Structure 1
């Protein structure tokens, strides 16, 4: 597919193994300078680069079709801190990777290949955020309905979710573009005095006897007495055992 669609940029959003399950097979060498062969294709890892305070890697791969000898360079952005069925490590890290993706893509008309494990949650989220980023950058956007956008994308990518995180990323990107300071992250509620556990409240009714003579507040002595009737036995008397043939015979005679 990469060769057929002339893909020059791959965005990977999952780890090879998550929660002791294989999420993706390795399709690039683990060491720089090494090569892997898949059918008629040879893949060489030319370089691998990490970025400070960001949770993604940039790899440069060299793909060669051994049938026709055609070679091309492919870049891979690998986001490593996005758990399956969860949210990324932060909006800033994801936006930084998306901007790096746009920088590498440039004005190239070739498609970007985005994948995770199932191609639904993580993949759909980054497609949504990047599409909104492009709409904002076009300066032709009068209004933004994220719900409508996500619903349209779900027609092509069923069940894509993480709708709330899309809002957070869009808000972060807009503040960044407008030069508005980002809000402080929420503090631990356990350290906030306003969220401390309230002290126990004294009960409204007391278990002691009432001090006044209000008959409505007097204890019902009759209700506290035990019943005068015969007590019900814990185990009722067992029914008589059925008579055997001998007894039946003697009774008949």
Structure 2
């Protein structure tokens, strides 16, 4: 078993603070995936923890300097092709490295990929609108005419990795509006699905995992996750003593 200290070092918590978008992109590419802000569950690296001092907690005093930085980067990173962003792991705001995204993405990398998925009519409507061009979240909410309906629909697209934030559009009044784009338009995806590689990257980040944890992270069945981890053991990419917990080799 790896220790909490080893995991903290793997996640960059003990390292130099991240201060630029490009460094944030390199962080995500190194750890493969990260939440924007730390959460007790699911356990995962977070961008917040490498931006601030180790003991800082987010949102204690509202939108401060570091909260603003992390919140801005969630749009800048995808716009630069450095990381995908959307509600994914545990339904929380998640950044995925391009390598992990490509391994998980099951579409063909085309604007009509959404047609292969069992989505609600509202989610298909959003995807069809995004196939024309990136749209602001405000426009998409207005298109569906209901905020809750929009949240459910965009959540469907993001959990299937079909849509990502993609920068912002300045407004005459108030905050800039978040732009949403199809993942297939923003990143090189399609034709490179490799769930064994995705499992390897998850283990590389977490150091120790169970099949159930891997299954929850990527919305797979537990038997599928166990099969993939067993394959990694056979390939020398993982070790296990009891068949229940799998470790990254030292």
* Higher percent of residues as strand: 1
Q: Which interval holds the TM-score relative to the shorter structure? A: under 0.3
- TM-score by length of structure 2 reads 0.24
* Higher percent of residues as helix: 2
Larger relative contact order (Cα-Cα within 8 Å, sequence gap ≥ 6): 2
- Report which of the two structures shows the higher radius of gyration computed on alpha carbons: 1
- TM-score by length of structure 1 reads 0.24
